[in-house]
């Protein structure tokens, strides 16, 4: 696990989860996944009550993929002399394989990270 610390996961609403208590090691990646995940477990598993789904939008409806409807926002909990850049990538097409990967492009650990995962409908 590239995250350090202990994840504190708080369900804010049916569509929003807050994650605190973690930082990201230098030059490392950490993953977040849904509770329906299979295969290699992600570093952080979101609660059962957070249930994003693929849905149709428009007329005629086009499917809105999980990568398009799930948003990650994050803020540092402290200021570093040289800020880290953390890149994010979303992969997978189902609850079983969907992952959000955070990659610290710097050689030093981040400060604490406050993250919000939101499902847009």
CA distance 71 to 53: 13
**11, 48 contact by CB (below 8 A):** no
**Any idea where the domains of the chain sit in the sequence?**
3-119
d(CA 58, CA 12): 28
What was the pLDDT predicted at 67?
96
What is the helix (H) or strand (E) element at residue 1, kind and residue range? none
pLDDT band at 73 (very low <50, low <70, confident <90, very high): very high
Q: What is the pLDDT of residue 117?
A: 98
pLDDT at 110: 86
Judge whether residue 83 has pLDDT over 80. no
């Amino acid at each position: 696990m590239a995250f350090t610390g202990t994840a504190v996961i708080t369900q804010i609403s049916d569509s929003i989860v807050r994650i605190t208590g973690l930082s990201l090691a230098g030059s490392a990646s950490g993953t977040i996944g849904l509770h329906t995940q299979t295969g290699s477990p992600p570093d952080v598993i979101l609660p059962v009550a957070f249930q994003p789904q693929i849905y149709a939008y428009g007329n005629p409806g086009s499917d809105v993929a999980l990568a398009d409807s799930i948003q990650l926002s994050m803020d540092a909990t402290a200021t570093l002399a040289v800020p880290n850049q953390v890149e994010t990538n979303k992969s997978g097409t189902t609850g079983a394989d969907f992952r959000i990967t955070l990659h610290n492009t710097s050689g030093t650990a981040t400060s604490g990270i406050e993250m919000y995962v939101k499902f847009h409908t």
